[in-house]
Amino acid sequence: MKIVVLKNNLREGLNIVGKAISENLNLPILKNVLIKTHNNKIKLVATNLELAITQMVSGKIIENGSITVPFSVLSGIVNNSDSERIDLELKNNTLLFKTDNYEASIQGIAEEEFPIIPKIENTRNYLKINGGIFKEAMLKVLNSAQISEIRPEISGVLFDFQISHFKLVTTDSFRLAEKTVFEKEFKTNFQRGFKIIIPLKMVSEAIKILKDDGDLNIFIDPNQILFQNDDIEIISRLIDGNYPDYEQIIPKSFETECILNREHFSSAIKLVSNFTGKTNDIRIKTKQGQKTLEVFSTSPYFGENKYLIPAKIKGENFDVAFNWRYLVDGLKNFNTPDDLIFGVNGEQKPSILKHPQDSSYFYILMPIKGV
């Protein structure tokens, strides 16, 4: 193998595939990145066995070949190099790294020792969507998910595809978010609906590295999912199991409905949170005849404080405790300055945040009981 590549191209490619580098002590080769010539481009690949990322990099191919080398070593050299042009040459199992004023010999391991990167068997059926639209939809549900060893089925994003639309759903048992994307925003040739659970790790990394512009192609087979965007491919195993039947906890009506400004509500919660305890709890209450929502917190060490927010309130009075961080997370997911609906069903049942004119997204939060 003998190639010439620009530093910025190689650095960007390494930064992308580096998201899949593993610190697995039992398989040290997972700390390596595969460098391979392919279709007159440079192919970079990294995997942790659950997730694999491939990035194609432009360069001049003089001789074809392949090698794996320690990612941290190669990345460190590239990031600190002050030359724009980099020459890479393979001799036996050693990668020679050369610039105008620097040389290094990096001991490598043959490609044959590198884990085989799985391929999607079914590439006939696909879903195509703008990368920016997909990332924005994922970001609206991502902060409601959490890795769980006890319940692995909630350690990911439910992808519920129903031909005319698909839903993205996450929950950590204390809160739940659902985002619906309708058929006008994507193209597909799938003939029937399906439900899969995409690992949280894959979604988190995809959001960081996939481009906002251009199309994102999604391919699925029974055990794997592939995201393909320009020169980037991310493939991951799916989570085996059945997602919880969450629809039964979605509030169909409210004891109290509050309509209030999102930014004002968020600012009030952050301000009052300075007096919260270890449970991050704040109290939100209404009083008979008042047109304000009271956000309140107290601490035996600091004192107490409250903030009154103008609101249109309809229904029963309430006095309910919430985790303020979870509440702010939900408010952040609405990228609009408009008023929101805050629906409350007492201190035993879930509350909901949603937009009055947009049914495509909602955020559910359980109150803190017994506070």
Q: Work out whether the CA dihedral 314, 320, 324, 326 comes out positive or negative.
A: negative
Please indicate, yes or no, whether residues 219 and 255 belong to a single structural domain of this protein. Answer: no
- pLDDT for residue 370: 65
Per-residue pLDDT, 122: 85
Same domain flag for 60 and 161: no
Q: Is residue 219 part of a domain?
A: yes
- What pLDDT score does 232 carry? 95
pLDDT of residue 280: 86
Query: Is 118 a member of any domain?
Result: no
Indicate whether 122 belongs to any domain: no
Asked which of 218, 246, 274 is the last residue of a domain, the reply is 246
Do 235 and 147 sit in the same domain of this protein?
yes
| Among 55, 70, 73, residue whose Cα is nearest residue 5 | 55
Pairing of strands 339-344, 256-261: antiparallel
Q: 24 and 80: one domain?
A: yes
pLDDT by residue for the chain (371 residues), tens digit each?
999 999 999 999 999 999 999 887 788 999 999 999 999 999 999 999 999 999 999 999 999 999 999 999 999 999 999 999 999 999 999 999 999 999 999 999 999 999 999 999 888 999 999 999 999 999 999 999 988 888 999 999 999 999 999 999 999 999 999 999 999 999 999 999 999 999 999 999 999 998 888 899 999 998 999 999 889 999 999 999 999 999 999 998 999 999 999 999 999 999 999 988 777 899 999 987 779 999 999 888 889 999 999 999 999 999 999 999 999 999 999 987 789 999 999 999 999 999 999 999 999 999 998 65
Query: What integer pLDDT is reported at residue 371 of this predicted model?
Result: 58
Segment 293-302 long-range contacts (CB within 8 Å, at least 24 positions apart): 293/258, 293/260, 293/265, 293/342, 295/268, 295/269, 296/272, 297/272, 297/273, 297/324, 299/275, 302/274, 302/275
Q: Are residues 132 and 223 in the same domain?
A: yes
In a domain, 119, yes or no: no
Q: Look at residue 217 and tell me if it is in a domain.
A: yes
Query: Which of 191, 214, 246 is the last residue in one of the domains?
Result: 246
| Together in a domain, 96 and 9 | yes
Q: Say what the pLDDT of residue 338 is.
A: 81
Same domain for 254 and 348:
yes
How many domains does the chain fold into? 3
In a domain, residue 371? The reply is no
Q: Tell me what pLDDT residue 43 has.
A: 97
What CATH number has the domain bearing residue 55? 3.10.150.10
| 370, part of any domain | no
Same domain, 238 and 256: no
pLDDT the model gives residue 212: 86
Q: Are residues 270 and 357 in the same domain?
A: yes
Is 120 within the bounds of a domain?
Answer: no
The residue segments making up the domain with residue 345 are: 250-365
- Given this model, what pLDDT does residue 22 score? 84
Tell me: do 66 and 103 sit in the same domain. Answer: yes
Q: Are residues 151 and 229 in the same domain?
A: yes
Last residue of a domain, one of 69, 89, 113: 113
- Same domain (yes/no): 231, 281: no
